[in-house]
Amino acid sequence: MPVLIVGSIALDTVKTPVEEHADLLGGSASYAAVSASFFTGAQLVGIVGGDFPKAHVEFFESRRIDLEGLQQVEGESFRWSGEYMTDMNVRETRSVALNVFEHFTPHLPESYRQTPYVLLANIAPSLQSYVLDQTARPRFVVADTMDLWITIAKDDLLALLKRVDLLILNDSEAKMLTGETNLIRAAEAIRGYGPGYVAIKKGEHGCLLFGDPSKQEFFSCPAFPLANLHDPTGAGDCFAGGLIGELARADEAEITFDALKKAVVSGSVVASFNVEAFSLERLRTLTNEDIDARRGEFRRISQF
């Protein structure tokens, strides 16, 4: 089954303690769609300007991503610039230029409206809701979010969550959204807002997946041990894309917690590759054999 993915498409400038690169392919939907494309067909909804390099479009095409929902308009593409400190867990945004993204209205092509798996990658929750308005009761909706929306659009986010099956956010965002200091209680609170499942990303500490506590639905996914991170940008988006891609690929009669566990591992696997190089570079050469091998590694490092 295909997955519908909406989010940002950006040109990034990223600086780390050792390197700096400009005009990189970036944005939540770019990472998520390419990640999902290793598992199933992805339909991309987003907007770019006239300056958007043809090579980036061709990369999407090489991954057989459906671009009917990609709007290309006059003006400049969304641009983001960030810098990672010596501790790669610490990032500073240097500049953001919304450009064409400022007036983005995500219109779904007719052919996308019945797509059963939907990933609302990180954009404003009002836009995420607007996308859902155009769909015909998708089977499973995953939403990603960030601290910005919790701060400036919490009501929109809470309205969206009533319509979401799985919310993805990081540990500090989960605490910020709920006011809880304990992640178990934070996840319980978020389930109270609507989503039956919550995935809390903890960066180098892996990821926690929460379902129904009365069914003991809890999963702790390790992080892959990496001595050198080259660029953490997009790791969370790759995680989300791989997760829904795996779910859509399997398309099981019943979406069980075991299926979600496998999807969390698949998302973690793609994310662990993506941070090995700048932008989406590592995913250009990644193969499904690489993914299967690392899934085995994830099993080896966490089983006893």
Distance CA 114, CA 111 (A): 7
C-beta closer to a copy of itself: residue 164 or 186 = 186
C-beta closer to a copy of itself: residue 19 or 258 = 258
Contact call for residues 283 and 271 (beta carbons, < 8 A): no
Name the β-bridge partners of 167: 143, 198
Distance CA 20, CA 85 (A): 12
C-beta closer to a copy of itself: residue 164 or 223 = 223
C-beta closer to a copy of itself: residue 89 or 111 = 89
Distance CA 300, CA 304 (A): 8
Least CB distance from residue 208 to a copy of itself, whole Å? 8
Helix 183-193, helix 154-161: angle, nearest 10: 70
Least CB distance from residue 292 to a copy of itself, whole Å? 14
C-beta closer to a copy of itself: residue 64 or 179 = 179
Tokens of 277: 């190089």
Distance CA 222, CA 202 (A): 10
Strands of 243-290, DSSP E? none
Least CB distance from residue 47 to a copy of itself, whole Å? 37
Give 245's Cβ-side CA count (13 Å radius): 32
Least CB distance from residue 183 to a copy of itself, whole Å? 7
How many residues are given for the chain?
A: 304
Least CB distance from residue 1 to a copy of itself, whole Å? 22
Distance CA 108, CA 267 (A): 25
Least CB distance from residue 110 to a copy of itself, whole Å? 38
Distance CA 121, CA 128 (A): 8
Least CB distance from residue 262 to a copy of itself, whole Å? 6
C-beta closer to a copy of itself: residue 100 or 265 = 265
C-beta closer to a copy of itself: residue 137 or 215 = 215
Distance CA 55, CA 69 (A): 18
Binding site for a copy of itself (CB under 8 A): 86-88, 181-185, 188, 202, 204-206, 208, 216, 218-223, 225-229, 258, 261-262, 264-265, 298-304
